[in-house]
Amino acid sequence: MPTDEQLLGVRAFRLSDDGKTLHLLDQRALPGEERWLEIREVEALALAIESLAVRGAPAIACAAALGLAACAWSFPEEPAGFRAATAAALDRLAHTRPTAVNLFVALRELREGVAAQPPETTAATLRSAIREIAVSHTQRELESCLAMSAHGAPLLPDAGGVLTHCNTGALATAGVGTALGVIRRAYAMGKRIQVFADETRPVLQGARLTAWELHRDGIPVEVIADNMAGYLMSRGEIKAAIVGADRIARNGDVANKIGTYTVAVLCRHHRIPFYVAGPWTTIDASLADGAAIPIEERDALEIHVHGDRRMTPLGVGARNPAFDVTPAELVDGYVTERGVFTAAELRAAIAG
Ligand code: MRU
């Protein structure tokens, strides 16, 4: 049996020992270059999230929280000024990426944690409180991933192809990963899994990040273009699919990286199990169904331009929704830190 330590994978962010700098692995530069950003200001933190230097639902939340702890060193020493700067920072961070709900969970924990301190609390104490909340949020996300991997690994086949979409690994979380954490543990347990990583147009999180992470950890991976999965399924080369989630509504509908819905439909047609792995922080019990999930529309340039080359004729428009919604009826199992649920069981657990 693999130890938790063996499953960890790369760390995408780290708060410096003095707490004044957030070190962020710049995921835009991968796989070509391992470049680290040093974040000390709120605007730099917000831009890093918006530009996908850090991405993946749990990682965005952890980086925002730890980043705020670092940025808080530049806030005024006078308590009211410190609180005002914190409120402005939380507001700026809440306007970076709308779909992943984990970010809003972390921001709420920070807002409530600061509000709970008496009015005369010094900036130094408020700063420590923010750091404590951020570290605890990150630790819980890591523990959730480890638990998810243990619950989910038995679902995967003992041998054969497993399809995944986008990047849900250590890069997208506090370490280990959600769907990729499940794959990582299944492989470490001795399952002879061949991962197929959808390239995940237009930003190529699968081709650049999932392939980089798995290759680095010695797990067999082949990248496929997003339109190849159906063919491989029709040939029996894919035995299961597992993806992450950015937000899960009360009825079990799942928002995840654009293209996930297509994978789920293909799986149902081919009678291949389709699993979603996500921590409980990904569930948004305030939303009845997926139609209410805010879907981020990103800059059309991500579609028009590939590398330094324009791929579409000038004057032609493009759409760029970054996420889609997979209806609960297409999900065969939700892997969470609390166990594996069917849609009906998940609904009951959320309601209860
Ligand atoms: O736009 P991204 O790269 O942040 O999208 C990431 C995804 O869609 C992941 O599948 C999701 O956040 C779950 S990751 C653990």
Catalytic residue annotation: 246
Average pLDDT over residues 10-19: 96
Residue 248 is encoded by which pair of tokens? Answer: 């899960």
- Which of ligand 1's atoms lies nearest the C-alpha of 322? 1
Q: Which residues line the pocket of ligand 1, CB cutoff 6 A?
A: 55-58, 100, 166, 168, 172-173, 178, 205, 244-246, 256-257, 322
Q: Give the pLDDT band (50/70/90) at residue 8.
A: confident
Query: What is the average pLDDT across 148-155?
Result: 98
Separation in Å, CA 203 to CA 58, 140, 170, 199, 330: 18, 28, 18, 9, 25
What would the two tokens of residue 258 be? 């654009």
What is the 28 CA–ligand 1 centroid distance (Å)? Answer: 14
The yes-or-no verdict on residue 3 having pLDDT over 90 is no
Contacts of 23 (CB under 8 A, 6+ apart): 13, 14, 15, 16, 36, 37, 38, 39
What letter would DSSP give residue 198? E
**Residues 251-261 pLDDT 10s:** 999 999 999 99
How many whole angstroms from 312 Cα to the centroid of ligand 1? Answer: 26
Share of the chain above pLDDT 90, in %: 96
Taking 90 as the threshold, does the pLDDT of residue 143 lie above it?
Answer: yes
Domains of the chain and any CATH numbers: 4-146 (1.20.120.420), 153-351 (3.40.50.10470)
Q: Please write the tens of the pLDDT for every residue from 21-59.
A: 999 999 999 999 999 999 999 999 999 999 999 999 999
Q: What is the pLDDT of residue 9?
A: 78
Rounded Cα gap, residues 272 and 259, in angstroms:
17
Pocket perturbation via mutation, ligand 1, pick of 164, 166, 337 by most ligand atoms within 8 A of CB: 166
Report the C-alpha gap between 131 and 128 in whole angstroms: 5
Q: Does 6 have pLDDT greater than 80?
A: no
Nearest to 186, CA basis, from 209, 210, 220, 215: 220
Mean pLDDT, all residues of the chain? 97
Q: What is the pLDDT of residues 102-129, one digit of tens each?
A: 999 999 999 999 999 999 999 999 999 9
- pTM beyond cutoff 0.85: yes
**Mapping DSSP to helix (H, G, I), strand (E, B) and coil, where does residue 193 land?**
strand
Q: Residue 138 above 90 pLDDT?
A: yes
Residue nearest to atom 10 of ligand 1 (CA): 244
Q: In residues, how long is the chain?
A: 352
